[in-house]
Structure 1
Amino acid sequence: MPFARAELVSAITPIEHLPNLSARLGIDLHIKRDDLAGTTMGGNKSRQLEYYLGAAQQKNAQTVLITGAVQSNFVRTAAASAAKLGMRTIVQLEDRVPDVDALYGSNGNVLLARLLGAEVMRYAAGEDEAGADAALRERAEIERKAGRVPYVIPLALGNPPLGALGYMRAAEEVVSQDADFDVVVIGSGSGLTHAGMLAGLRSIGQPARVIGSCVRRDATQQTQRINTVLEALSELLGSKVPVTDADVVIWDGAFSPGYGQLGPSAAQAMAMMAQSEGIVLDPVYTAKVFAAIPALVDNGEIPEGSRVLFVHTGGLASLFAYQSSLENAFPHP
């Protein structure tokens, strides 16, 4: 693809068979270990950042600005990746999650961002992507007036979806691993990971059903967002991605009680994965994504015997900010 790429994911992340869960669920279940992608606790955002930071390097940027929730893996990974590439980072934290404790605002990704040298600013409105981007651009103008070259990684729709290119590349990687799946289950938040994987598989002729599990919006809203991202991706690539309306499959059964909040379905999914395979999921993204698999097996949408890939996108740094929620979900005996 003719886009600048900063190499942050230097090795193919493994696909592992999950024998215990396969036997329990009656499917052939595998996991793509993108929690191992990139630097500083890894995750899917490393793949997205390869293209944003590649563009930043092309512009000789000295400062990278990015916005996200208080416990955003994206901003933490951006701070780590920018440091590796010799750039400073300004991270803007949005208050998206209600009724949080002090630990949520100081531990996990927040602590790591500070350790990584990022300047931290706040944005009080948690559901105003355009406003959050505008605030970043105002801060970027201050950088520019100080004689530095800034690069803004935007959040809202209407911007080129460079991050989706990372998961088009990941789709090629999955196929290169001789992995032929009936179903791929992946997180659906900003939409770049989900849309990129779907577009990537279809572009190389792979028909696997891609199911996006909602982590920030309900299924109706998220379907609209994925379609918008796919349209923008077609524009970015200069040709229509070969994705139909029927290809956009969204599940929101574990989304409740909302973004960044741990509900019963996600807690059960965390316990199932940890106690069956010894792999830890995070409460914001991957627990809600994996929860789709047993639920869809139970209702027959994933048929018995299907070969299924669960994409583990990381996010484990946020565990340390969710101690109270996790203790409530898994009380001491």
Structure 2
Amino acid sequence: MAGGGAGTFLCLDSGPLRWRRKLIVSRRLALVGVGKWGANFLKTIVASGQDEIRFIVSSKSRQQLDAIAANQAVLLTDISLIDSYVNEIDGVIVATPPAVRANIVEQLLRLGLPVLAEKPLSLQRDDSLKLIELARSSGVPLVEDFIHLFSWPYIKLNEQLSHDSPIEIESRGGNRGPYRDYSPLYDYSPHDLAMILQIFDCMPDSISLELQNIEGELAFGANIVLGFGQLGQAKIFNSNTSSAKERLFVLRQGEQCWEYDDTSDIKLTLNGISQSSSLSSSSSIQLALDYFCGRKEFYKQEKMLWLSKSVAEILYRLELQYAELIKNH
């Protein structure tokens, strides 16, 4: 399954007829869920004007939605109502809580609607794998929004890498909170795992987990080590019990040291020297939309599905290790 080129929706040669090679730059989109990330998508789409929000599925009122970003979208109160408007939608952004996300994504894929879904696809590995297989078998695009894959520093770093020598990665993401009704492993770790796996392009041959700063079953720090044999190693630290926000990705290879610091004014350095990019004026959300809508081709669709599957598998293995560690704590 190949990724779409500029002006085409993602990888749709094998999909439903209406998606094939539609040479349209602007897309008719629906948004399901308008919490923090849904609101960010809404504001970005309205501000850019490149795409059009046609439908919003939300419990928020029209007044509340317009306070986020004035729009002319039809407001729907239930996902089932979207069935009547399938021919007026080119793709759907799903930004609901993860507990209900998988069911919504499945409904949309079965309607033949391409989906850009917030991570994780599900809190259950089997549900995630089911969605990935459905997308593969139906040819309907599914993109899990590992948002840092679409940040310009990571895109530039990834483009400049060679694979002729071992790679060492240290990736850190944390803050004081947020405290959710699910593990911080599912909140923070998908970002780090996706960035690491995209670079190594294979599953690790070893996965280990250690806990620290444990304040409760859903409040702790996690040290994760992924071994990739002769290819190198990646270390991850994730925590919702940290004293301050942190989102750092450091990659060392030979004499090169790339540092992507999302909390710094200087986002990307190579050996301490600030780097820039033609993409640096675009936010990660806008670049994710550009990818989903076919204006940019950063990754093949099959690679994105592989990343989703691999992240789900690793999270499952980490959860098993976590259960043993917390039991003995």
TM-score normalised according to structure 1 size: 0.36
Q: Which has the higher strand share?
A: 2
TM-score normalised according to structure 2 size: 0.36
Q: Which has the higher helix share?
A: 1
